[in-house]
Amino acid sequence: MAARTLRRAVAAPAALLAALGLVAGCTGPEPTPTPTPTGTGDVAPYLDPGLPVAERVEDLLGRMTLADKVGQMTQGERSVVTPADVTALRLGSVFGGGDSMPGDGSVATWSETVAGYQAAAAATPLRIPLLYGTDAVHGHNNLDGATLFPHNIGLGAAGDPDLVERVARATAREAHATGVNWVFGPCVAVVQDTRWGRTYESFGADPDLVSALTTAVTGLQAEGVLATAKHYVGDGGTVGGVDRGDTPGTEVSRVHLAPYAAAVERGVGSVMVSFSSVDGEPMHAHRRLVTDVLKGDLGFDGFVVSDWAGIDLLDGEPGFTRDEVVASVLAGVDMVMVPQDPWRFVELLTEAVADGEVPQERIDDAVRRILTVKIGMGLFEADPVDPSAADAVGSPEHRALAREAVAASLVVLDNDGTLPLADGARVLVTGSNADDVGHQVGGWSMSWQGSSGDVLPGTTVLDGLRDALGADAVTWSADGTGAAGHDVAIAVVGEEPYAEWLGDRPDGARLGEQDEAVLARLRESGVPTVVVVVSGRPVDLGAHAWAAATVAAWLPGTEGAGVADVLTGAVAPSGRLPVPWGDRPVGYAWAGAWGSSEDAP
Q: Measured in whole angstroms, how far is the alpha carbon of residue 223 from the centre of its chain?
A: 16
> What is the Rg, in whole angstroms, of the alpha carbon atoms belonging to the chain?
25
Q: Which residues of 478-509 are buried (b: 16+ CB within 10 A; e: fewer)?
A: eebeebeebebbbbbbbbbbbbbeebbbeeeb
Contacts of residue 469, Cβ cutoff 8 Å, sequence gap at least 6:
421, 425, 427, 568
d(CA 355, CA 349): 10
Q: Which of 144, 312, 500, 504 is an active site residue?
A: 500
CA 228 vs CA 28, 136, 333, 564: distances in Å: 30, 11, 14, 33
- Interaxial angle between packed helices 322-331 and 342-354, expressed in degrees from 0 to 180 and rounded to the nearest 10: 70
493 phi, psi to nearest 5 deg: -120, 180
Residue 437 exposure: Cα atoms within 13 Å on the Cβ side: 19
Plot region of 179 (φ>0 → left; ψ -120 to 50 → alpha; else → beta): left
- Of 464, 471, 490, nearest to 403 by C-alpha is 464
C-alpha to C-alpha distances, 124 to 12, 25, 29, 548, nearest whole angstrom = 21, 14, 10, 65
Active site residue 565: no
Q: How many CB atoms lie within 10 A of CB 21?
A: 7
Within 10 angstroms of residue 64's Cβ, the number of other Cβ atoms is 22
Cα–Cα dist 431/515, whole Å: 6
Active site residue 307: yes
DSSP sequence for 183-208: E---B--B-S-TTSTTGGGSSBS-HH
Amino acid at 83: P
For residue 30, give every residue at least 6 positions away whose Cβ sits within 8 Å of its Cβ, in sequence order, or none: 65, 67
Q: Which of 160, 165, 206, 307 is catalytic?
A: 307
CA 315 to chain centre: 28
Closest CA to 301 of 330, 274, 269, 332: 269
Q: Is residue 423 helix, strand or coil?
A: coil
Residue in 229, 240, 173, 239 with CA at minimum distance from that of residue 201: 229
Closest CA to 255 of 319, 210, 320: 210
Give the whole-angstrom CA distance, residue 181 versus residue 174: 10
Catalogue the active-site residues.
Answer: 307, 500
